[in-house]
Structure 1
Amino acid sequence: MKSLFIIDASGYLHRAYHAITSMTNAQGESTNALFGFVRSLLKLSNDFKPTHLVCVFDGPESTKKRKAIYGEYKSHRPPMAPDLAYQINWAKDYCQLAGIPWLSVPEVEADDTIGSVALLGKEDFDHIFLCTSDKDMAQLVDEKVRILNTHKDNLIIDPAGVETLFGVRPDQILDYLALTGDASDNIPGIEGFGPKTAASILKEWNTLDNALQHAGEIKGKKGETLKNEGEKALLSRQLAKIDTAVEVPRESAFYQLQPPSRENLLQFLNQMGFHSMIKDLGEEKKTSTPVSYHLVDDEPSATDLMKNLKAHQDVAFDTETTSEKPMLAELVGVGFAVREGEGYYIPLNGKLGKERALAILREIFSCKDTSFFGHNAKYDCIVLKNHGIEVTPAFDTILASYILNSNERLHSLDTLAAKYFGFTKTKTSELLGKGKQETTMDKVPIEQVSAYCCEDVDYTFRLKNLFEKELEERGLKKLYYDLELALLPVLQEMEMHGIFLDTKRLASIKDNVTIALDMVKEEIFQMAGEEFNLNSPKQLSDILFNKLMIRPPKKTATGFSTSQEVLEELKNNYPIAEKLIEWRVLEKMRSTYIDTLPLEVNPRTHRIHTTFNQFVAATGRLSSQDPNLQNIPARHPIGLLIREAFRPEMDGWSFLSSDYSQIELRLLAHFSEDKALIEAFSKGEDIHATTAAHIFGIALPFVTKEMRQLAKAVNFGILYGQGPFGLAQTLKIDLKQAKSFIETYFARFPKVKAYIEECKEVARKSGKAVTFTGRERAIPEIHNKNMQIRQMAERLAVNTPLQGGAADLIKMAMLKIDARLKNERFKGYMILQIHDELIFEAPEGEIEALKPLVKEEMENAYQFKVPLTVNCEVGKNWKEC
């Protein structure tokens, strides 16, 4: 069976442009639409393995013919964004390089070209799939032609499917559109005729012409409207009709996929920053460079390996384990590399046996003259330590990749091997399988695991050679070695210590939250006058905007929105909206934390062991996952109850919380050198109250709590680059007042304004923002032609030195505190970092000594022009801190 796939390329690109958040390449050019387009094509290729396919684009001046008929056709659409226009050209370049045929006919819209190709294709193909989400295409559906909506789980719409979706046959779709119109194209249709009305008219009269001819027989307003607006319906039909007579290639060979131009395509994807897609190219996987990978599974080969490793100063290592969670993982084997193209693997489940293999590994890692390095080495170090082997990595390629490219979201070995060497590594899923068939590494044949692990250490070795040079060239060695790499063992210990969760206390909290949820749900049902599914946006929308007749403030493509933003807007006038917000907050607390946290308790240690990521946030902040303990709400009553369930495991121990006060504002004072701001902090003034006094023009003693809260929003709004409009929205004040607040603020702190402009200018000239430690964040979007993207980049240019500086500062403090805790032999230890806050678990007898130690090191981690203030709290659980 021969099939032709016709892609609505213009539709794919527009959809991706609006659906995918800002993405840019290294030159700061937008790539979001192109990324979505390419990803959709790769998925289609993977799902259907097409042999014949064509991408169809709107031609230049594509609306010219229909505009000549109706001047308002698509007139409501704004001009195409410049950054979408050049992505469309790139999409054509991609098609050329990937061997994909494409069409763009001057003065012809993509719909008409698609229709013409489909009509001709019926002669040579058994099935034709129109890959689109455009409802106009339903008029082309017949026994050979189908719509394939790849954005809805590859939904295939045949003639029966058209009738199910629209209530009319494919041959009636054109008349259906004539009646309903098409808002997306500004086709008018008939006033008051929606889908149901149009379908009922056509069901009764079969065609538009027949309905117009018998309009006098149609009762009520419908018949009158048809009589009066018949000409408009005929015009709409003319506009909606797909022209199937466009000149397009007739030979089926034109539509056949060709072999891609691999080298050029690889270069193109690299240039766009689509490193994760390179592996989908397929057969480029194996390089021409020969490799020598060895399974070490007997005494002679183990002896040779130990001699070999001792003869080299730098050794890459990698573990293979049974779990992605290091505190649950059992060691399966360890790989080593001492040069590019080589690898050695020692299994624990081979001929040597587990105990002998571990003894060999202990001997290898005990060599003091060898520098061991890895990729995401903290994971490997935790696993090895749990098996009695201690390693302090001398280099970590994942951290190096992050320091060199903090804007990149992916730093996996797979991604980097593809990016730097054009090599697609063996996927873990190729060994372990997927879904129900997934197994663990200890059950995979040893020879396969050996090849896989050797590949890992080989490419880790190659990456180190690259990254060492680049760190040197860019002056980032000090940041890398003295801060990030030095912090790795500190974070390792924090993860291994973990934190104790009182599951009985949490179960009690769950009971109370469940009761509260049921009570709020009953109140909502009473207000609604019926029961419904609170998790269904469609049902909720129907209750709010149809049954209760609430005026909807916002509409989406699928109906009236019931988002948090909409409910916040409605809550002051409609009690049901306030109750819905309350229900959603409680439900989120229950599902996100109360139900899931007990599942994270390690069965061996009876503690929760989160993972701290050093290579995620572009600012340098640490993030937490499995579970994320940084996001547990500190102000919501339920969030506080959840925190209460975290407590020291041992009697006679307490938590100590140490938190920087207004650290980013203090850094702003330091970097801007604004005298008034420096003076306020030096005098120990409440900076928010001080700001309130200035913007309201009153003496400090007369500042109210509400004024201080408003001034706090001004301080942080300016810090994060908010303008008058953004501030007005945040504070729910008028634009004039917001503008006045900002002007008064800058009049009082003039150097702050100068500093903000300086940050933007530095980013424009250098394409990056830099923290006081030298951490770089590339901001290529600063030159983007799209104003919204450019303004976002300007905010990043201002915020990065402050938020990134605060992240660097607390890391410095962590290193100093950790050293002192060890040197002074404290039993207590650090267990959590929540951005500007550190949490310790310690015996009560140590708290009085620990508190001043932590405060001293945090406040003196770096010397600024303003004093740093740290607030310390002690408690028997996290809530009390």
Structure 2
Amino acid sequence: MTKKMVIIDGNSLINRAYYALPLLSSKSGDYTNAVYGFVNMLYKIMDDYRPDYISVAFDRKAPTFRHLEYDEYKAGRKKMPSELAQQLPILKDVLDALKIHRIELDGFEADDLIGTLVKYAENKELEAIVVTGDRDALQLASSKTKILITKKGISSLEEYDDKGVMERYEITPQQFIDLKGLMGDQSDNIPGVPGVGEKTAIKLIKEFGNIEELIQHTDKISSAKLREKIDEFAQQAIFSKRLATIMVDVPVEISLDELKREDPDSEKLMELFKRLEFHSLMGRVAVKNKMETTDSNFLDVKPTSVIFDWKSLKDKIKNTGELCIRTFTDGQDIIQDDIIGIHVRCGEEHFFIKGEDVPLALQDLKEILEDSRIRKYGHYLKRDRNSLKRYKIVLKGMAFDSAIALYLIDPTRSSYEIQDISLEYLNRKIESEEDVLGKGKSKTSFSELAEEKLIEFGMNWCNTVMSVKESLMEQMKEAELGVLFSDVEMPLVEVLSDMEFNGFMVDQSILDQLGTELDEKIQHITQSIYNEAGESFNINSPKQLGEILFDKLELPAVKKTKTGYSTNIEVLEKLQKKHPIIAMIIEYRQLVKLKSTYIDGLKAVINKETHKIHSSFNQTVTATGRISSTEPNLQNIPIKLALGREIRKVFIPSDEDYLLLDADYSQIELRVLAHISKDDNLIEAFHQDLDIHTSTASKVFGVPMEDVTSLQRSRAKAVNFGIVYGISDYGLSENLQITRKEAQLYIDEYFSRFTGVKRYMEEIVEEGRKLGYVTTLLKRRRYIPEISASNFNLRSFGERTAMNTPIQGSAADIIKLAMIKVDQELKRRKLKSRLILQVHDELIVEAHKSEIDEVKEIVKLQMENALNLDVPLKVDMNVGESWYDTK
């Protein structure tokens, strides 16, 4: 079987990767998107083609012979962005760790080195495979050499051999040089013959064979104009052909031994992937090299050593005072799903409770599991606590959750899964749930797994938690995150678990009624759109809608895409005053979204047993520390729309003995800004309990508060919230529909009045740039590598993030503290009332009618004293028989 040599155009591929992927960076400030894309493509090529030899060719900064012969060669090319240039040495380090041969030489381009390697491979009877984004390389194609051209991005490749080139261009690979000589190459600034494009050049080459023959027989060219051009620029065409010709005899030493594909330096590669935060690539290292941890906490024992006697587990736990737990269920229904197995690690022993033994075992272990003095460890402990609640077990003493710990250490990473932690901290590959259960149609369940496989999975899970615990705790200590972890995030697990289990009752009759009303409105607006358009069409089809708006109605096209006219919301908003159909289309889309997401979507997640919605509240998703919710996301109900607000009517108390209490922080982010910035004007306004937007308008517009108009207050409100988010003059002008000059005047006037805020914004950006991160009042960190970018847009994003994170993140910390305090006080007093929802800056308590006054007092006291600030925290409370009624 013929051996293969893969030859990669390093500069071309990394350039493609840079522009194909969003700009990414690590906490250490390394830009990584181009390297990440390159390495992913490299692995794909090695998996698909399994080369015996491999080399990556790079350009050097030194001028080549082409530059020396032609000053204008590549003269029009833009300078490589610094964010890309910084990644080249990193890529070379990764290639060295992979033990992949690199080749570069002063005076020659990567293309010439590739051509020389291709010639070498063919002479050695090897199959050559060239990977590049540059079609110039097609001249190297042959029966022995394939050229893989990266298409859009780096995810797919076009493959050419000599037959493929002939099929696509109707010329041979050797004639491809003549094609470039005639038509030139704008990207390389090769002149060619002016006015001769690809189509004409191919026609001439097919007729005459090559440039030299063409020049000798220009009298046979039928077009007088073309004949004159060829005669006039004959020497330029020959010169252009020379510039486009890839050398195949560069004087460079080549040895097959050096090009041989070898196993990577696992330790060095893993170290690089960790630094670059390439979590998804770490598995490649561990899998290929079976890296094992030397951590004694991992207890690398066989599933057959597991103990099934839960009575001995009880004694063991009492002696050690700690345990690590993983419960197994088959579904996501926290109300109905049975536990089919429980894995516990205690000390140096593993225990497993079989599904049929779970009810009896849990009753025996109830006292221990509910003893807060016995420390419980795990990964996503909220899931385990929810599973146990079905058996009337209230898990207490939750002391360590490795997912939450890693989230605090690095809140912007994409994954906190157990297998990623194992790879990153232990250099050990363990199976993920997807590895064990499969995915898609072939996905199985934990109950269908062989018992030994389930036990092995539980062992690896608990071993990983126990092995990384000390390391993660130490990292949190170094970053001053210990208090945030132990006093906020871990106690919050209990609160969120109870909120999920309690759920929110839904009135299905009102939901059905709203659905019917929306259907009728959608039908009515659809007919109105058809009337305006003069015909019926698929309103949901951007193509058909574009044809109606821009072809038939002849509205000005704002933006075009490859598939036709753009009809996104930005385009429609710019056309609103041009035709009445536009407002109808916007309304139509809003109604359809409400119906699909908040009527049909809510119906799909109502629990059949409780008739409630049991949302999942996520602690490890947002970079600022805010809680998010899914299945469903109750935080995104569009309350600015009248029909959106109506949807809140479906959320009601569990029964007639309860009411809903909604407690909402008043201007919490602006109060945090006042505290952080120490701005005298802001602090005074909040101490006097003034309407903050009217107060701001008074100062910005220079009028007494009593004379502030509704328009001035509205604009001051936009400025207030815009400042919190680091808004620019452009952003403010878009929000207020005013000129950028007016918007900048508002911002300048604001900062002249609120000098403390201006000083804070400047100082926090400088601090973020110096440290690479910013913190909240409770020391929560967010790393912002973008703040030092040379790219203006990226740097501006980093600066806005630095300004906003301490404010938004501190507000998130305060609401979490309030949730914990309210929940604890309700439980301490043994009240029937319970916390059921957190949305942005508000808490919703399902309050027993007999406890309303007491609950109001508790909620107000605990929320307004959650954290001591220089300004008072203020809470607005309302009570009603539905969520809608509390507003």
Distance (whole Å) between structure 2 residues aligned to residue 135 and residue 727 of structure 1? 45
TM-score normalised by structure 1 residue count: 0.86
What amino acid sits opposite 2:43 in the alignment? L
Identify the residue that residue 457 of structure 1 maps to in structure 2: 462
Identify the residue that residue 633 of structure 2 maps to in structure 1: 628
Distance (whole Å) between structure 1 residues aligned to residue 321 and residue 844 of structure 2? 38
Whether contact under 8 Å (1:315, 1:336) holds in the other structure is yes
Deviation at 1:573, TM superposition (A): 4.5
Verify: 1:376 aligned to 2:380, yes or no.
yes
Distance (whole Å) between structure 2 residues aligned to residue 563 and residue 34 of structure 1? 33
Distance (whole Å) between structure 2 residues aligned to residue 820 and residue 224 of structure 1? 93
Identify the residue that residue 287 of structure 1 maps to in structure 2: 293
Identify the residue that residue 323 of structure 1 maps to in structure 2: 331
Deviation at 1:664, TM superposition (A): 0.9
Distance (whole Å) between structure 2 residues aligned to residue 200 and residue 749 of structure 1? 68
Give the 3-state SS of the residue equivalent to 1:293 in structure 2: coil
Verify: 1:387 aligned to 2:391, yes or no.
yes
Distance (whole Å) between structure 2 residues aligned to residue 322 and residue 628 of structure 1? 23
Whether contact under 8 Å (1:343, 1:458) holds in the other structure is no
Alignment of 1:763-774 (within 5 A): 763-774=768-779
Identify the residue that residue 333 of structure 1 maps to in structure 2: 341
Distance (whole Å) between structure 2 residues aligned to residue 801 and residue 782 of structure 1? 15
Verify: 1:821 aligned to 2:816, yes or no.
no
Give the 3-state SS of the residue equivalent to 1:797 in structure 2: helix
Alignment of 1:21-100 (within 5 A): 21-61=22-62, 65=66, 69=70, 71=72, 73=74, 75=76, 77=78, 79-100=79-100
Give the 3-state SS of the residue equivalent to 2:870 in structure 1: coil
Distance (whole Å) between structure 2 residues aligned to residue 8 and residue 579 of structure 1? 52
Identify the residue that residue 106 of structure 2 maps to in structure 1: 106
Which shifted more, 765-774 or 569-578?
Answer: 569-578
Whether contact under 8 Å (2:6, 2:129) holds in the other structure is yes
Deviation at 1:451, TM superposition (A): 1.5
* Pair 766,461 (structure 1): closer, same or farther in 2 beyond 3 Å: same
Give the 3-state SS of the residue equivalent to 1:54 in structure 2: strand
Alignment of 1:185-200 (within 5 A): none
Identify the residue that residue 243 of structure 1 maps to in structure 2: 246
Deviations 1:497-516 (A, max 9, x none): 12234455445545555565
Deviation at 1:706, TM superposition (A): 3.1
What amino acid sits opposite 1:269 in the alignment? F
Whether contact under 8 Å (1:695, 1:741) holds in the other structure is yes
What residue ranges of structure 2 are gaps of 5+ in the alignment?
none
Distance (whole Å) between structure 2 residues aligned to residue 739 and residue 63 of structure 1? 50
Whether contact under 8 Å (1:190, 1:232) holds in the other structure is no
Verify: 1:413 aligned to 2:421, yes or no.
no
Deviation at 1:176, TM superposition (A): 7.0
Which shifted more, 512-521 or 629-638?
Answer: 512-521
* Pair 81,550 (structure 1): closer, same or farther in 2 beyond 3 Å: farther
Q: Calculate percent identity across the aligned residue pairs.
A: 34
Deviations 1:360-417 (A, max 9, x none): 5546535665322212111111111213332121222222222333344433222222
Whether contact under 8 Å (2:66, 2:243) holds in the other structure is no
Whether contact under 8 Å (1:668, 1:752) holds in the other structure is yes
What amino acid sits opposite 2:746 in the alignment? F
Identify the residue that residue 438 of structure 1 maps to in structure 2: 443
Give 1:855's match in structure 2, choosing from 857, 860, 865: 860
Whether contact under 8 Å (1:660, 1:868) holds in the other structure is yes
Deviations 1:660-683 (A, max 9, x none): 122111111122222222222223
Distance (whole Å) between structure 1 residues aligned to residue 354 and residue 747 of structure 2? 65
Distance (whole Å) between structure 2 residues aligned to residue 178 and residue 198 of structure 1? 12
Which shifted more, 717-726 or 384-393?
Answer: 717-726
Distance (whole Å) between structure 1 residues aligned to residue 413 and residue 777 of structure 2? 21
What amino acid sits opposite 1:611 in the alignment? S
Verify: 1:308 aligned to 2:311, yes or no.
no
Alignment of 1:486-505 (within 5 A): 486-503=491-508, 505=510
Distance (whole Å) between structure 2 residues aligned to residue 646 and residue 229 of structure 1? 81
Give the 3-state SS of the residue equivalent to 2:39 in structure 1: helix
Distance (whole Å) between structure 2 residues aligned to residue 184 and residue 267 of structure 1? 38
Alignment of 1:59-208 (within 5 A): 59-61=60-62, 65=66, 69=70, 71=72, 73=74, 75=76, 77=78, 79-124=79-124, 128-137=128-137, 140-141=140-141, 143=143, 144-147=145-148, 149=150, 154-158=156-160
Verify: 1:257 aligned to 2:258, yes or no.
no
Identify the residue that residue 669 of structure 2 maps to in structure 1: 664
What amino acid sits opposite 2:381 in the alignment? A
Whether contact under 8 Å (1:131, 1:147) holds in the other structure is yes
Give the 3-state SS of the residue equivalent to 1:382 in structure 2: helix
Deviation at 1:97, TM superposition (A): 0.5
Distance (whole Å) between structure 2 residues aligned to residue 545 and residue 64 of structure 1? 52
Alignment of 1:464-483 (within 5 A): 464-483=469-488
Identify the residue that residue 839 of structure 1 maps to in structure 2: 844
Identify the residue that residue 650 of structure 1 maps to in structure 2: 655
Give the 3-state SS of the residue equivalent to 1:630 in structure 2: helix
Which shifted more, 713-722 or 285-294?
Answer: 285-294
Distance (whole Å) between structure 2 residues aligned to residue 522 and residue 225 of structure 1? 63
What amino acid sits opposite 1:872 in the alignment? M
Deviation at 1:746, TM superposition (A): 1.3
Verify: 1:275 aligned to 2:283, yes or no.
no
Distance (whole Å) between structure 2 residues aligned to residue 463 and residue 709 of structure 1? 51
Alignment of 1:207-246 (within 5 A): 234=237, 238=241, 241=244, 243-245=246-248
Identify the residue that residue 715 of structure 2 maps to in structure 1: 710
Distance (whole Å) between structure 1 residues aligned to residue 202 and residue 456 of structure 2? 65
Distance (whole Å) between structure 1 residues aligned to residue 371 and residue 336 of structure 2? 27
Identify the residue that residue 743 of structure 1 maps to in structure 2: 748
Distance (whole Å) between structure 1 residues aligned to residue 488 and residue 690 of structure 2? 32
Distance (whole Å) between structure 2 residues aligned to residue 612 and residue 252 of structure 1? 57
Deviations 1:669-706 (A, max 9, x none): 12222222222222332222332333333343443333
Distance (whole Å) between structure 2 residues aligned to residue 762 and residue 272 of structure 1? 23
* Pair 226,390 (structure 1): closer, same or farther in 2 beyond 3 Å: farther
How many residue pairs match? The answer is 873
* Pair 655,9 (structure 1): closer, same or farther in 2 beyond 3 Å: farther
Which shifted more, 854-863 or 355-364?
Answer: 355-364
What amino acid sits opposite 2:267 in the alignment? E
* Pair 539,153 (structure 1): closer, same or farther in 2 beyond 3 Å: farther
Which shifted more, 513-522 or 471-480?
Answer: 513-522
Deviations 1:827-849 (A, max 9, x none): 33222211211123335555455
Deviation at 1:28, TM superposition (A): 2.0
Deviation at 1:230, TM superposition (A): 7.3
Q: CA RMSD in A?
A: 4.3
What amino acid sits opposite 1:287 in the alignment? T
Distance (whole Å) between structure 1 residues aligned to residue 245 and residue 642 of structure 2? 59
* Pair 24,142 (structure 1): closer, same or farther in 2 beyond 3 Å: same
What amino acid sits opposite 1:345 in the alignment? F
Whether contact under 8 Å (1:859, 1:869) holds in the other structure is yes
Identify the residue that residue 809 of structure 1 maps to in structure 2: 814
Give the 3-state SS of the residue equivalent to 1:694 in structure 2: helix
Which shifted more, 572-581 or 618-627?
Answer: 572-581
Alignment of 1:572-587 (within 5 A): 572-573=577-578, 581-582=586-587, 584-587=589-592
Give 1:429's match in structure 2, choosing from 418, 431, 434: 434
Verify: 1:639 aligned to 2:641, yes or no.
no
Distance (whole Å) between structure 2 residues aligned to residue 204 and residue 821 of structure 1? 87
Distance (whole Å) between structure 2 residues aligned to residue 84 and residue 673 of structure 1? 40
TM-score normalised by structure 2 residue count: 0.86
